[in-house]
A and B are shown apart, each in its own frame.
Chain A
Amino acid sequence: MEKTVTSKQMLGELLEKHYKTAIDAKAEGKLVAWATSICPQELLETMGIDVVYPENHAAAIGARKDAMRFIQQAEGKGYSNDICSYARVNMGYVDLKFSEAENIPMPDLIFCCSNICNTAIKWYENLAKVLNIPIIMFDMPFNHTFDVPEHSIKYMAGQIKHAIKQLEEITGREFDYDRFKEVMEISADTARWWKKATDLNKNHPSPLNGFDMFNYMAIIVCNRGKIEGRDLFKLWHDELAAKVEAGIGPWKDQEEKYRIMWDGIACWPHLGDTYKVLKKHGVNMVTSTYPESWTVIYDTGDIEGMAKAYASNYANRNLDYGTKNVARLVKEFDLDGILYHSNRSCKLMDFRQYEVQRRVEAMTGIPSVVFDGDQTDPRVFTLSQYETRVQALIEMMEKNKELRRNG
């Protein structure tokens, strides 16, 4: 009989393989690229270039509590402690080149997409300069309108063509459009399975605790264009669907009492603490604004559609969209409350948060709190503040529930 592999095992294996393949590729003299987390990786995959993702890597370093060495190295070079800690960790890694947590090969090529933020443009520009290697820039203009404007789509499609030319020059190989179509199909498929799986959390109880979702995120970042990635999410989906069928909730030893959304990135260095405080009270994070970013879906072969899909990332869209999106999540996931991570690293997410919070509260009537943290710099977060805020959220959620119980 075939041995059954769980998605969790597969996740571990794929991650290990991801890092090992890149390191081996480098050792064999093949090209390695560093890329931003929600970039059109289809182009690199088509070219057969191995890619690693500094954001993923920095998160792994943060989660394994090794970030400070790199942060201090970068700050010693003059990087202000105000700037995104992923960038600080990564710029530190460029110098130190080794972490007990996880290692990546040095890049031969930089691939940057600004749909996550303008910070990435500066960060990656620095990488290309310091390492003296070529950079491919994908600029996705900020959408202050609800939808992506036509002239933006044209500009992005133009950039895709330009990037293909750059890739051909850098690799000395021709771009294979048939392979491109294949990769597009796989990527969109992976994104679909990712969405289908994470959407299963709409069930009561939710089959998954959201902190596990954070773990799976590493693979949606780095394996979106690969068949293994798609298979993983399909398997994960099936496992979760089976749990839903059987009515199994997120924990064996705790019931799902409250369902919340987590806004923003995790606090990687304090992942355990942030998780435990919630679990202790039966608070399950069933969704988050962040993972939806990888639901990049478009028709195979449609370059403009692909450009539009990437540019539609919520971080790159206006407040009306941001608000509507969260309000939709509240409804679809039947949320009791929202926990907003005011992430010291990410100005783009933070400086709209207060207004989104107010509007969503007005639209949905569910309570929310904000806590201070940082995705990788361990110095910002304090457990006591977090506990107090979570406690306040629970009280408000409980009151709401009581009101509902009393009709």
Chain B
Amino acid sequence: MNDLKSLLDELVEAGSNPKKTVLKSMQDTKKEAVGCFPIYTPEEIIYAAGYLPVGMWGGPTDLKLADKYLQGFCCSIMRSNIEYGMKGTYSFLKAVAISTFCDTLKCICENWKVAVPEIPLIPVVYPQNRMIEAGKEYLNEEFKRVAKELEKLSGKLITEDAINESFEIYEDFRAAMREFTVAVSTHLNTIDAKTRHLVIKASFFMDKKTYTLKIKEITKELNALPKEDFNGIKVIATGLIAEPTALLDILVENNIGIIDDDLSQESRGFRVAARKEGTVYERMVSRIVDQRGCTFLFEEAKTRGAMLIDMVNKHQADAVLVIMMKFCDPEEFDYPIYKEEIENNGIPILYVETEQQMDSAEQIRTRIQSFAEMLTVEV
């Protein structure tokens, strides 16, 4: 138990202090870091190129410089990233990789070149027609192009062995994350919403091999404990990212536990295992091809609503928690569709709109409180 507590404390601390954690990881691994903008950045390739891939998920900061490039109706996470970039917060990065999943990210990719010229950019363009042969081939080529750019950056070739090994490290990491989230679902007293988020978030700032050892240990310890009765409200969280931290504090205050998630920063990144067959790049492609219910990947059947309903049923959850990043239009487009499906199934939805620079979380607090009261009365 002591082990568990200290491991959790360590990762919570790591997840709470991105920059400090990254600098320490760089020191420990003696590697240079490459920043990874949100959503499916192919970290495996960066890792194989000998760099430490680190997540760039914005953060609370005063927005001043970013206004030079972005109007106020740009999502706060990208305004933060540009702001940090311009004020030098990322000066320790060797390069950044940006995937262009939405119109904002396309523009961010273009603005970065000018706003932060000292940190080279590696764009990654994913196909939306990912299930047809031409789409798979394209993505395969695109990954190889990214690999070439990284080789140029490092001046070293990425060997077959390096990419294979890196991919295995990442597959192992993702499997470990899936096991961790399963273990959490039966230990919501030990792992509250905030702890869950920060422990997962820490993975973005640490060497994946090191992190995986720790998370496996945590899962083992959790599984050694008896399953816990959680007397609070169990929710499935969906959206881009479970932030700002104030939101998580409010969830904890109101005894709301995240029993499973469909968040870009969390399960969407690791819920799909690669297919076993094929070359390493084909296996990487297969992960994108097999992803379902993700707002950033075109899917004719649009199964997100059905998926969320399944998750609720599987976990006997009480509600779906929608964490909507303001101005994130892909997420905003999905909402009316899955909202109706979920409501038709009689499942309550708690909708909160967030920005990374929130002056006050009072509105969210009131919303969550009254939702919690309503559900508690019903139960």
A: which residues have CB within 8 A of B?
74, 77-80, 82-84, 87, 91, 114, 117-119, 121-123, 125-126, 128-130, 134-135, 137-139, 141-142, 144, 149, 151-152, 154-159, 161-162, 318-319, 342, 344, 346-348, 350-352, 354-355
Task: Determine whether the beta carbon of B125 is less than 8 Å from that of A135.
Answer: no
Is B334 part of the contact surface with A, judged by Cβ < 8 Å?
yes
Task: Determine whether the beta carbon of A118 is less than 8 Å from that of B68.
Answer: no
Our pick among B74, B125, B298, B329 for the contact of A119 (Cβ within 8 Å) is B329
Residues of B within 8 A of A118 (CB): 101-103, 106, 128, 330
B: which residues have CB within 8 A of A?
68-71, 73-74, 100-104, 106-111, 113-114, 123, 125-129, 132-135, 137-138, 141-142, 145, 295, 298-302, 324, 326-327, 329-330, 332-337, 339-340
- Known A-B contacts A117-B103, A125-B300; the reply to A155 vs B127 at CB < 8 A is yes
Our pick among B71, B101, B109, B335 for the contact of A350 (Cβ within 8 Å) is B71
Residues of A within 8 A of B102 (CB): 118, 347
- Please list 29 pairs of residues, one from A and one from B, whose beta carbons are closer than 8 Å in the complex, sorted by A's number: A77-B340, A78-B335, A80-B329, A82-B73, A82-B332, A83-B329, A83-B333, A91-B336, A118-B103, A118-B128, A122-B329, A122-B330, A122-B334, A126-B337, A138-B129, A141-B125, A142-B109, A144-B109, A144-B125, A149-B145, A152-B138, A158-B135, A159-B129, A162-B129, A319-B111, A347-B74, A351-B108, A354-B68, A354-B70
A148 to B325, CA, bound (A): 32
Instruction: Tell which of B103, B107, B326 has the most Cβ of chain A within 10 Å.
Output: B103
Closest to A78 in B: B336
Task: Determine whether the beta carbon of B128 is less than 8 Å from that of A121.
Answer: yes
Given A155-B137, A354-B70: 17 more A-B contacts, CB < 8 Å: A77-B336, A78-B335, A87-B333, A118-B128, A125-B298, A129-B301, A129-B337, A139-B135, A144-B123, A162-B129, A347-B107, A347-B327, A347-B329, A348-B106, A351-B70, A351-B71, A355-B111
Task: Determine whether the beta carbon of B68 is less than 8 Å from that of A129.
Answer: no
Our pick among A130, A151, A347 for the contact of B138 (Cβ within 8 Å) is A151
Task: Determine whether the beta carbon of B100 is less than 8 Å from that of A142.
Answer: yes
Closest to A112 in B: B298
Shortest distance between the CB of B58 and any CB in chain A (Å): 15
Closest to A353 in B: B71
Shortest distance between the CB of A77 and any CB in chain B (Å): 5
Q: Which 8 residue pairs across A and B have the least CB separation, nearest first?
A: A158-B134, A351-B107, A78-B336, A155-B138, A122-B333, A348-B103, A139-B128, A151-B141
Residues of B within 8 A of A159 (CB): 129, 132, 134-135
Task: Determine whether the beta carbon of A351 is less than 8 Å from that of B111.
Answer: yes
- Known A-B contacts A80-B335, A82-B327, A117-B103; the reply to A125 vs B299 at CB < 8 A is yes
A99 to B132, CA, bound (A): 38
Task: Determine whether the beta carbon of A155 is less than 8 Å from that of B135.
Answer: yes
Instruction: Tell which of B74, B125, B330 has the most Cβ of chain A within 10 Å.
Output: B125
A159 to B324, CA, bound (A): 33
Task: Determine whether the beta carbon of A139 is less than 8 Å from that of B103.
Answer: no
Shortest distance between the CB of A31 and any CB in chain B (Å): 18
Residues of A within 8 A of B132 (CB): 158-159, 162
A137 to B134, CA, bound (A): 13
Residues of B within 8 A of A137 (CB): 128-129, 298, 300
A79 to B334, CA, bound (A): 9
Closest to A316 in B: B106
Closest to B110 in A: A319
Residues of B within 8 A of A78 (CB): 335-336, 339-340
- Known A-B contacts A84-B329, A151-B145; the reply to A347 vs B103 at CB < 8 A is yes
- Known A-B contacts A347-B329, A351-B108, A354-B69; the reply to A154 vs B137 at CB < 8 A is yes
A161 to B134, CA, bound (A): 10
Residues of B within 8 A of A79 (CB): 332-333, 335-336
Shortest distance between the CB of A208 and any CB in chain B (Å): 31
Residues of B within 8 A of A83 (CB): 329, 332-333
Shortest distance between the CB of B38 and any CB in chain A (Å): 15
